[in-house]
């Protein structure tokens, strides 16, 4: 069996594929292994699904290779675009089901899951638009030479995605890869395989040739590692922890030097100046850390507030955080659902304990909610010092630290006091402050008077240890194409 009937409170009964999606078919793994998928809201087992091992990675890679050398290379850019746009339309048509499966498996609030699905459609359609606009150049060197520069696809792309935005990462990875003419083997995170498999059915429905997009479920150390070290994978794109990002690079270096792009962690500063609109700033600071239960690589987890407004700010922020609706992800008013897994829950609670031991003050939160499901109170730590683990390490949960600064120079210095560089934000009404501080912060995205407002038209990625390469926007095309120079001699042989 490669599918099962499941139910969500939002969609009723539906057909959940459980197989590995290779060559446009759902198949069992070669070794016949399966693994359980857990519902983070009540800790029950949702179902078991087929697990990919190295042998299945081989099969998926050879399917992708065959498609790349065969039908996909011959497909017109126009048709690549058409297929992606069709896929985007199908995401919209099936939005309620996709969002419901996302909430069931990941625990994210249904209203946020709907936002994710809408952004998936936006992203896929956007890259559909790019497919026939990937252009080269003619470069004059000498009068007897004609040179042109082409953008060609890289080939078979391995893509390894995390569990915090299962569908959104699916679209960020597949959209640009396919638009540029590559084929794909995408591995989902072992915590959240379900929505990607439902979305896989749409690949076939959209009309993609077999083997262009293959979706496999499995574990990082087995299937993920097999992709990263595979001799016939031309590029690996990874989103996840910095620790694993380093392993992926090593695996690429130790195998065939496949191209590597990485989107890793963050410890992003959210800086509030005394001239900011306080109500606005509090809303964005709250959204900055607690959106998606704090499970965001770009979460604004270090909050710095200018001294003169600090007391007022912290009071209001505390009240705001306490009002966040935490609970059943299928309730429409819910803002924060459970953390994704027992392991993530334990990691976060470990950081909370560590913060307490280090002498930081819990302004609000710090505890588990209920005794079933991985729910954690929105938590704010004050009285922190820059060397504390809770200030330096990515917690990836609803936990932030808050401290004061005096001057703009100090704000820049502490803002940059991290090995990461994914995102940052500045809240101020002063245009000069906004621009000066944005210029000085070493981060791939800087938000001004907003937070977490990503858009598929805008590049996203990390400075420093937050990653290599950019996703989204036109910039992502650079990471899915390679440049070929063709130089044609027009005159007689030079050395003849």
Q: Contact between 228 and ligand NAI (CB under 6 A)?
A: yes
**Residue 89 C-beta: closest distance to ligand NAI, Å:** 27
Which residue stretch of 68-76, 196-204, 261-269, 328-336 sits at the interface with ligand NAI (rule: CB under 6 A)? Answer: 261-269
Angle, in degrees to the nearest 10, between helices 110-130 and 77-93: 160
Between the two ends of the chain, the Cα-to-Cα distance in Å is 68
**Residue 189 C-beta: closest distance to ligand NAI, Å:** 4
Strand partners, 270: 303, 425
Q: In a 10 Å sphere around its CB, with 0-12 CB exposed, 13-18 middle and 19+ buried, how is residue 151 labelled?
A: middle
**Residue 378 C-beta: closest distance to ligand NAI, Å:** 17
Binding residue for ligand NAI (CB under 6 A) from 221, 323, 429, 484? 221
Spell out the long-range contacts of 431-440 with Cβ–Cβ below 8 A and sequence spacing 24 or more.
433/273, 433/275, 433/408, 436/408, 437/271, 437/408, 437/411, 437/412, 440/412, 440/415, 440/416
Binding residue for ligand NAI (CB under 6 A) from 19, 166, 220, 300? 220
Which of these, 68, 67, 113, lies nearest to 91 by C-alpha position? 113
Tell me the C-alpha distance between 57 and 156, whole Å. 12
H or E element, residue 153: strand 145-153
The footprint of ligand NAI on residues 149-188 (CB under 6 A) is 160-164, 187
Q: Which CB atom, from 244 or from 423, has the smaller least distance to ligand NAI?
A: 244
Q: Contact between 60 and ligand NAI (CB under 6 A)?
A: no
Q: Which CB atom, from 418 or from 481, has the smaller least distance to ligand NAI?
A: 418
The footprint of ligand NAI on residues 233-252 (CB under 6 A) is 239-241, 244, 247-248
Residue nearest ligand NAI by beta-carbon distance: 220
Cα 126–129–134 angle (5° rounding)? 115
Cβ contacts of residue 479 below 8 Å, gap of 6+?
Answer: 176, 235, 237, 259, 261, 469, 470, 471
**Residue 343 C-beta: closest distance to ligand NAI, Å:** 7
- 263 is known as an active-site residue: yes
Q: Which CB atom, from 264 or from 384, has the smaller least distance to ligand NAI?
A: 264
Which of these, 193, 197, 169, 188, lies nearest to 15 by C-alpha position? 197
Q: Which CB atom, from 68 or from 396, has the smaller least distance to ligand NAI?
A: 396
**Residue 241 C-beta: closest distance to ligand NAI, Å:** 3
Q: Contact between 465 and ligand NAI (CB under 6 A)?
A: no
Q: Which CB atom, from 271 or from 399, has the smaller least distance to ligand NAI?
A: 399
Q: How many CA atoms lie within 13 A of 449 on its CB side?
A: 14
Q: Which CB atom, from 161 or from 233, has the smaller least distance to ligand NAI?
A: 161
Spell out the long-range contacts of 471-476 with Cβ–Cβ below 8 A and sequence spacing 24 or more.
471/172, 471/173, 471/176, 471/261, 471/263, 472/123, 472/172, 474/130, 476/127, 476/172, 476/175, 476/176
Which of these, 23, 63, 17, lies nearest to 217 by C-alpha position? 17
Provide the mask over 94-123, with x wherever binding to ligand NAI is found by CB under 6 A and - wherever it is not.
------------------------------
Q: What is the number of residues in the chain? A: 496
Residue linked to tokens 């306080």: 278
The footprint of ligand NAI on residues 267-326 (CB under 6 A) is 297
**Residue 261 C-beta: closest distance to ligand NAI, Å:** 12
Strand-strand pairing, 3-8 and 12-17 = antiparallel
The footprint of ligand NAI on residues 345-374 (CB under 6 A) is 347
Q: Which CB atom, from 196 or from 202, has the smaller least distance to ligand NAI?
A: 196
**Residue 435 C-beta: closest distance to ligand NAI, Å:** 28
**Residue 242 C-beta: closest distance to ligand NAI, Å:** 7
Q: Contact between 471 and ligand NAI (CB under 6 A)?
A: no
Catalytic residue among 263, 377, 394, 471: 263
Q: Contact between 394 and ligand NAI (CB under 6 A)?
A: yes
Binding residues vs ligand NAI (CB under 6 A): 160-164, 187, 189-190, 219-221, 224-225, 228, 239-241, 244, 247-248, 263-265, 297, 347, 394, 396
Which amino acids are annotated catalytic?
263
């Amino acid at each position: 069996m490669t599918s099962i009937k499941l139910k969500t409170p939002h969609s009723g009964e539906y057909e959940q594929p459980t197989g590995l999606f290779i060559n446009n078919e759902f198949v069992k793994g070669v070794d016949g292994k399966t693994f359980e998928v857990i519902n983070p809201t009540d800790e029950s087992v949702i179902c078991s699904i087929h697990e990919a091992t190295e042998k299945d990675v081989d099969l998926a890679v050879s399917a992708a290779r065959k498609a790349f050398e065969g039908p996909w290379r011959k497909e017109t850019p126009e048709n690549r675009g058409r297929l992606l746009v069709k896929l985007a339309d199908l995401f919209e048509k099936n939005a309620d089901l996709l969002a419901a499966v996302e909430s069931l498996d990941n625990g994210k609030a249904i209203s946020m899951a709907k936002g994710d699905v809408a952004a998936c459609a936006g992203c896929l359609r956007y890259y559909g638009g790019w497919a026939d606009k990937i252009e080269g150049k003619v470069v004059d060197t000498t009068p007897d030479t004609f040179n042109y520069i082409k953008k060609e696809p890289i080939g078979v792309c391995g893509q390894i995605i995390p569990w915090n935005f299962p569908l959104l990462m699916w679209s960020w990875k597949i959209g640009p890869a396919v638009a540029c003419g590559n084929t794909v083997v995408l591995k989902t995170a072992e915590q959240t395989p379900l929505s990607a498999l439902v979305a896989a059915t749409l690949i076939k429905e959209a009309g993609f040739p077999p083997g262009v997009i293959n979706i496999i479920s499995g574990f990082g150390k087995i299937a993920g590692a097999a992709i990263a070290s595979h001799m016939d994978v031309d590029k690996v794109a990874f989103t996840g922890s910095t620790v694993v990002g380093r392993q992926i690079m090593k695996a690429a270096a130790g195998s065939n030097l496949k191209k590597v792009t990485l989107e890793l962690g963050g410890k992003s500063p959210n800086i509030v100046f005394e001239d900011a609109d306080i109500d606005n700033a509090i809303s964005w600071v709250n959204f900055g850390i607690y959106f998606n239960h704090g499970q965001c690589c770009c979460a604004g987890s270090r909050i710095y507030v200018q001294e003169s407004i600090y007391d007022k700010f912290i009071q209001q922020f505390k009240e705001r955080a306490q009002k966040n609706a935490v609970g059943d992800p299928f309730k429409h008013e819910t803002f924060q659902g459970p953390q994704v897994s027992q392991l993530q829950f334990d990691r976060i609670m470990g950081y909370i304990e560590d913060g307490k031991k280090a002498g930081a003050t819990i302004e609000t939160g710090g505890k588990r909610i209920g005794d079933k499901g991985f729910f954690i109170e929105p938590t704010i730590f004050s009285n922190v010092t820059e060397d504390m683990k809770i200030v330096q390490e990515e917690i990836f949960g609803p936990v932030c630290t808050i401290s004061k600064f005096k001057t703009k120079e100090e704000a820049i210095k502490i803002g940059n006091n991290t090995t990461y560089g994914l995102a940052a934000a500045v809240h101020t009404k002063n245009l000069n402050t906004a621009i000066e501080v944005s210029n000085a912060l070493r981060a791939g995205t800087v938000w001004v008077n907003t937070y977490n407002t990503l858009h598929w038209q805008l590049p996203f990625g990390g400075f420093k240890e937050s990653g290599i390469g950019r996703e989204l926007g036109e910039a992502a095309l650079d990471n899915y194409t390679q440049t070929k120079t063709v130089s044609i001699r027009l005159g007689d042989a030079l050395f003849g």
